[in-house]
Amino acid sequence: MDENSRSARKRAQIMAAATAAFLEHGYLGTSMDQVAAAAAVSKQTVYKHFADKEQLFTSILLAAMSPTVDQLLAGAATEPGGDVEADLMALARNLVTAIWQPDVLRLRRLVIGEAARFPTLGRAYFEQGFEGGLSALAKSLSTVAARGGLRLDDPLTAAQHLAGMVLWVPMNRAMFTGSDAPLPDAERDHYCRAGVRAFLRAYG
């Protein structure tokens, strides 16, 4: 194994251990010593990869959110089928599936809980994860609109409206109750269908 591969493996090992520690003990309750011990590396190795705890946590947030944004961008690349409501339902389901990952939900709660004390962490999550996801959804909506059937003067605002209508109730319930259980398909489709139909009344 070459030096770059070893370094990448160590970094992944540290991030996995740190993610578990942050989720169990919170941001304040986790130390770099704990992370080093859990990752079975020296503290010097941890600092070689991450300058401080804030950089380590921010890296974990971005790594957790990247697959979500990638999945939404993949939806933007999908050619619409011509049935606007069906296309929007597919985008809405993709949005819920992309976000409804246990670690993403847990990290979201953790960031919200620490936002007042550590606003930089909250800003990183908001800009890279939340806003990045909405930008990806806006691209998807623009792809659907290009085929006709939607009026989108401002795709980003439209993405905000669709995401809000689909996710507001189930996401707030997950945040307040601490549940990471998968959203049942019937419940997911209920929120998606109601959101899509309201969206079409506004933008159809």
Q: Please compute, for residue 40, the number of CA atoms within 13 A of its CA located in the half-sphere on the CB side.
A: 3
Tens of pLDDT, residues 12-46: 999 999 999 999 999 999 999 999 999 999 999 99
- Please provide the average confidence, as pLDDT, over all residues in the chain: 89
Residues 141-145 have a mean pLDDT of: 90
**Is the torsion defined by CA of 109, 113, 118, 119 positive or negative?**
positive
Spatial contact of 151 and 203, defined as CB atoms under 8 Å apart:
yes
Rounded Cα distance, 175 and 103, in Å: 12
- In this prediction, residue 80 carries a pLDDT of 59
Summarize pLDDT for 177-195 with one digit per residue, the tens: 998 888 999 999 999 999 9
| Residue given tokens 């890279």 in the structure block | 128
Note the pTM of the prediction, 2 decimals.
0.83
Domains of the chain with bracketed CATH: 1-50 (1.10.10.60), 52-203 (1.10.357.10)
The band of 77, judged by pLDDT with boundaries at 50, 70 and 90, is low
Mean pLDDT across the stretch 162-178? 95
Q: Which of 10, 159, 23 is nearest to 101 (CA)?
A: 23
pLDDT at 190 (0 to 100): 97
Cα torsion at 24, 26, 28, 32 (round to 10°)? 50
Asked if residue 61 lies in contact with residue 111, where contact means CB atoms within 8 angstroms, the answer is yes
Q: Is the pLDDT of residue 82 over 80?
A: no
